Structure 1
Amino acid sequence: MTTLDTLLMILISIILIVGVYQFYFFPQNHPFKEPKELSTRVDDKIPFIPGWAWLYSGLYYPMIIGLVFSISSFQQFAYIVANFLLLAFIQILFFTFYPIVTPARWRDFSKSPGKSQKFLKYVQSFDAASNCFPSMHVSVAMMTSLHMINNGAALHPAIVTAIWSFPVFIAISCLLTKQHYIVDTIFGALLGAFVFWIYIV
């Protein structure tokens, strides 16, 4: 792989991320059915820590792009892209036919204004309260880590720990920013692992 190959894969990845988001937003802008809430007592007891919003968005995209550096050929890149497109397709089916929404009170930051809240509010101005189940943040993070491990990126225990920390921290950030329910993160991780398994077999 040359530097040009890597740059092209990064460019293609960015274009694909932007493109997939157009389909991601479609169920929000054109709802097929009324979304419902899934909040539990446990979900309500999880504290809102707005500082995690920076990790929620700031770590997510660099790690996805970072996957490119573990890829050894354009053929491998094409298969991995197809795997992520399959994941996106399944996610959008859930968002369309089983829409879940977070409570409006979780998005009310009027009592605690701050930079992190403003940043999270900016993110939410694009991403509505629906498209919760399963968590696409967690499923993509899980599958990204699995592909990195499979591609041989983890040659040192510290790197392995860092790679596996990615989906864990993303899941925690989803909960502490009140963007998702607990069940969203669990099923997001399971879905990411399942779609990766399809890639392996």
Structure 2
Amino acid sequence: MQAVYRFLKKYVDPWARLDSIIPLASAFLFNTLIYFGTNYLTRDWHHYDFTLEIDRAVPFVPGFVWIYLGCYIFWIVNYLMVGHFDKKHFYQFVTADYTSRLVCLIFFIFLPTTNIRPEVLGDSAASGLMRWLYDVDMPSNLFPSIHCLVSWFCYIGIRGRKEIPRWYRAFSCFFALLVAASTQFTKQHYIVDVIGGIGLAELMFYLSRRFQYYEIIKKFFEKINGKLYRLLLKSSCDADNTSVT
């Protein structure tokens, strides 16, 4: 355990602060459970189609699938980045992330959505990737768009933070909007889904900063991190005592 702790502290902590790993990993698992769990639960229910005329006017551009799938790297980088900020900001961010998924849960259950996807033609790499995406990702749980929600969290989580270079903050805003555009051009989502995702991110982040309920999440994860730290510390001390003996 001593060797594990030293390895984590030396090689992992500079990239992913150790006390942020469990809250962030839990947020990912929570998101996965809600998204796929509600997909399974509502698979045979009636789904609503919110397609508007403006959506029909947007062309289908398979090339945007690279942005749609590549944004997962963007998500990982920015969430880990937020993990290095002060604990108050970090837990406000995590709390906003958690509560936004609870809102998504309500919509996914009580207002399940779908759309009609276009036929994917051509034999380009983008077209092949689009066909694969359509095969593995059901056209459901569209409102609000989690792709837009998480991408906008990636921006607002570092917005105004002087620890982050201005150019990267600007890039994060641009890329989050580019992800939103990709949801349109790949026909994975429609405009109401984008508005819902971005609006929900802003609302939950505002509420988590305006009120103090983020302290509940903070105390919960600090208790878990404290127990793990004491376990590692005790194991390190035991290992030192054994080596001396």
With normalisation by structure 2, the TM-score equals 0.70
Say whether 1:140 aligns with 2:150: yes
Question: Which is greater in Rg?
Answer: 2
Structure 1 14/115 Cα, relative in aligned 2: closer, same or farther at 3 Å? farther
Structure 1 126/18 Cα, relative in aligned 2: closer, same or farther at 3 Å? farther
Say which of 188, 197, 203 aligns to 1:179. 188
**What residue ranges of structure 1 are gaps of 5+ in the alignment?**
none
1: CA distance, partners of 2:183 / 2:153: 16
**What residue ranges of structure 2 are gaps of 5+ in the alignment?**
1-8, 211-245
8 Å Cα contact 2:62-2:127 kept in structure 1: yes
Structure 1 107/2 Cα, relative in aligned 2: closer, same or farther at 3 Å? farther
Say whether 1:118 aligns with 2:128: yes
Q: Who is 1:62 aligned against?
A: 73
Deviations, residues 71-114 of structure 1 (Å, cap 9, x unaligned): 234565444222211111111211111111011xx2421x3343
Say which of 37, 40, 60 aligns to 1:48. 60
Say which of 102, 105, 118 aligns to 2:115. 102
8 Å Cα contact 2:27-2:97 kept in structure 1: no
Letter matched to residue 44 of structure 1 = R
Q: Percent identity?
A: 22
2: CA distance, partners of 1:91 / 1:183: 14
Q: Who is 2:202 aligned against?
A: 193
1: CA distance, partners of 2:127 / 2:93: 35
Structure 1 113/89 Cα, relative in aligned 2: closer, same or farther at 3 Å? farther
With normalisation by structure 1, the TM-score equals 0.84
8 Å Cα contact 1:33-1:97 kept in structure 2: no
Shift of 1:129: 0.2
Aligned length: 196
Q: Who is 1:170 aligned against?
A: 179
Q: Who is 2:159 aligned against?
A: 149
